[in-house]
Chains A and B, each alone.
Chain A
């Protein structure tokens, strides 16, 4: 049971000592002139310390003033301001969803923050309702705290969680952390790593025999979107134009993403985006595969084989770059079987995916088997 937007506005206005009209008028996208107020406000009210470069992040994410991102997509940071004071904020990133031969405009809510002294006042719920009042379709993907995940599940319609996977390459770091006698970690990991390496050797033979090669790129080429042209029309996925991919990954101010195009002879088969990071927990270099798109022409078996070769080649590339654990988040059954065959294990930290829609005839949106999502659609400071 969730309250209506108008009713919530009236009740919260009373609580905040203002009128409903003041709340509705005070809810507007941030302008360039707001940035100097927004930056210290976020630093003060963020529950955890903000990463350095918040100003760069906000400019990249919202392009204040113009609010247009490459590919002609809009992005707004909505503020609730009463008497010049910011009470809460939430971003809305516009995107294009493909399905059944049509394009739908959708938005991602992100960057929700409520002034510290107003936490628990209902403003977090209210700003979600206010954003729902502005946009016909919203998608929320990602982790967040347990409390925020619960709030989202109740305000939106929860879909099955997005699965996250990990492929151990070297087990020593994990064993050292988990075993009661740390000295045993090395001999046990030597055996375990040898078995994992044998398994990878088998897949290495397969992808090398297939004639696949990888090409690191600095920017995505203009025709990259053609990779999805053979995807089944009933599938639901987010547009991946070169403009979007270059903005989302290559120009990202927070994370140093790397992109690989994957070819068989001269034919482009797919691409992989990843980033490397040093895990403080396992004290080793790890890699996250953040986006993966592959050509889906041919039958199911040919598609599976192609995906397996692409992933196996990418894994070898990441191991050569010293990754000792490789993780990946995906939504959609297409990749599950292949990931298991390659030795990926399910992680416990699954990520929530929820939808809000007030479109007519929108049942197709709530069929999880139709969706394909990677980390490309996950938004927020850490992405």
Chain B
């Protein structure tokens, strides 16, 4: 398993759309958690798995529970230097 160093914001949003099983156009930084049907417990587990596997990022689970918008997830990637244009 190779760990990616960084991806673009556009690729990150596509990745999140795939995780939440939503059309890409429905995922943008300002979209609220409650407006994304797939951001449920399986969605959270999938985010944790994808961030861990792809970037080696361990998300603090308490912080994850408090995330309110898509941008909170992008911020995790940014804080871990996993966003190339962030």
Contact = CB atoms under 8 A, between A and B. Distances in A.
Nearest to B65: A120
Dominant secondary structure of chain A at its interface with chain B: helix
Interface string B34-78: 000110111011101110110000100100010000000000000
A218 B61 CA distance: 55
Contacts of B11: none
Given A11-B49, A121-B61, A126-B45, 8 more contacts: A3-B46, A7-B52, A11-B45, A14-B61, A119-B41, A122-B41, A122-B48, A147-B40
B50 A1 contact: yes
B18 A1 contact: yes
Contact of A1 (B21, B40, B41): B21
A120 B44 contact: yes
Contacts of A123: 41
A155 interface: yes
Contacts of B21: 1, 154
A381 interface: no
Contacts of A322: none
State which size class the interface on A falls in.
20 to 34
B37 A4 contact: no
A8 B49 contact: yes
B6 interface: no
B12 interface: no
A355 interface: no
A120 B41 CA distance: 5
B28 interface: no
A15 interface: yes
A170 to B, nearest CB: 39
A229 interface: no
B7 interface: no
A45 to B, nearest CB: 15
A125, A126, A147 — most chain B CB neighbours (10 Å): A125
Interface string A102-135: 0000000000000000011111111000000000
A150 B40 contact: yes
Given A4-B49, A154-B21, A122 B65 contact: no
A236 B38 CA distance: 32
A82 interface: no
A1, A3, A15, A126 — most chain B CB neighbours (10 Å): A1
Given A125-B41, A147-B40, A1 B46 contact: yes
Contacts of A151: 40-42
Contacts of B52: 7, 11
Contact of B49 (A3, A120, A124): A3
Given A1-B18, A7-B52, A11-B52, A154 B42 contact: yes
A119 B58 CA distance: 21
17 contacts: A1-B46, A2-B42, A3-B45, A3-B49, A7-B52, A14-B58, A120-B40, A121-B61, A122-B41, A122-B42, A124-B41, A125-B45, A126-B45, A147-B40, A150-B38, A150-B40, A154-B42
